[in-house]
Amino acid sequence: MNITFRCDPALEGHLVRPCPARSALPAWLKAMPATAFSDLHGRDVRTVKQCPPFVDAMSHGFMMPLACDIRIADGLIDWDWDLPQPSIHNHPRAPVSFHSPAQTTGAPFHGPDQIVLKFNSFWTIELPDGWSLFATHPVNRLELPFRTVTGLIDSDRFHDIGIFFPALWVEPGFSGVLPKGTPIAQCFPVRREAIDLVFAPMSAEEATSYDAIGRAVLAEPGVYRRDFRVGPVKPGTTS
């Protein structure tokens, strides 16, 4: 599958490119110990660093990056970005803008003081026919001071303008810099097709397999990784 990103020609060379999610794994994951002592078990247990589904979810798809450093202090957000004038009239120049809190009225995360950011995108995203783009908060990245709101965009048709990524600011007391390149949204293509839910009791063969795999999982680590996991497919990039 080709995912095509395009930018204003006047801005080429000034923008951070989207990147495969596997290349944007956080430092805390790399620094995590592989095992840790569990008071509950009375012994060392494996941490989520050794959980393939946990890591594979974080490695899936691609990341949209923050366009430049933004500074946050005393509830104010500003930036200093020497960006050329876009050649497209309606193209944004600011890395962020804002939604009115009224737009979340009735949602559980609504609040009169809730800041709702809008991370502006400087790239259009085109997918092949029949595919939509699932955009969400970077998976398992709860250390980030915002929460990107999840959305689904039919990017096989809507690809002539950049996508804006709304996000809730969840750390009112945050003071510091959110650096250029910070992942603001994790995205991956999903096929647009109807699904059918099929229910059935296990056959005798399936029940036997259930028992065998259950025993193996309890007896030794790494069964899923060794016998079932495909792992992230390494994407390529072309200019």
As a whole number, mean pLDDT of residues 219-232 equals 85
Contact, 162 vs 94, CB < 8 A? no
Which of 184, 237, 166 lies closest to 20, judged by CA?
237
pLDDT value for 231: 74
Cα–Cα distance between 141 and 202 in angstroms, integer?
A: 37
Output the pLDDT for position 239: 66
pLDDT for residue 229: 87
Q: How confident is the model at residue 134 (pLDDT cuts 50, 70, 90)?
A: very high
Task: Find how far residue 29's CA is from the centre of its chain.
Answer: 15
Give percent of the chain with pLDDT exceeding 70. Answer: 97
Per-residue confidence band for 210, with pLDDT thresholds at 50, 70 and 90: very high
- Supply the CATH classification number for the domain 4-195: 2.70.40
As a whole number of angstroms, the distance between CA 27 and CA 163 comes to: 27
pTM of the entire predicted model: 0.91
pLDDT of residue 76: 87
Contacts for 9 with CB less than 8 Å, ≥ 6 apart: 87
- Closest to 109 (Cα-Cα) out of 165, 186, 167, 173: 167
Q: What is the pLDDT of residues 54-86, one digit of tens each?
A: 999 999 999 999 999 999 998 789 999 999 999
Does the pLDDT at position 113 exceed 90?
no
Average pLDDT score, the chain: 93
Cα–Cα distance measured from residue 62 to residue 60, given in angstroms and rounded to the nearest whole number: 7
Of the pLDDT bands very low, low, confident and very high (cuts 50, 70, 90), residue 235 is: low
Residue 97 neighbours by CB under 8 Å, 6+ apart = 117, 118, 120, 164
Residue type, 50: Q
Pick the closest to residue 169 from 144, 145, 201, 204 (CA basis): 145
Could you tell me which residues are beta bridge partners of residue 8?
none
d(C-alpha 125, C-alpha 104), whole Å: 26
Query: Is the pLDDT at 233 greater than 70, yes or no?
Result: no
- Structure-token match 């069964």, residue found: 223
Q: How many CA atoms lie within 13 A of 176 on its CB side?
A: 8
234, pLDDT greater than 90: no
Task: Identify the weakest region by mean pLDDT among 83-87, 133-137, 218-222.
Answer: 218-222
What contacts 39, CB < 8 A, 6 or more positions away?
none
For residue 238, pLDDT beyond 70: no
pLDDT tens sequence across 145-201? 999 999 999 999 999 999 999 999 999 889 999 999 999 999 999 999 999 999 999
Cβ burial 69-107 (10 Å sphere, 16+ → b, else e): ebebeeeeeebeeebeebeeeebbeebbeebeeeebeee
Q: What is the pLDDT at residue 112?
A: 84
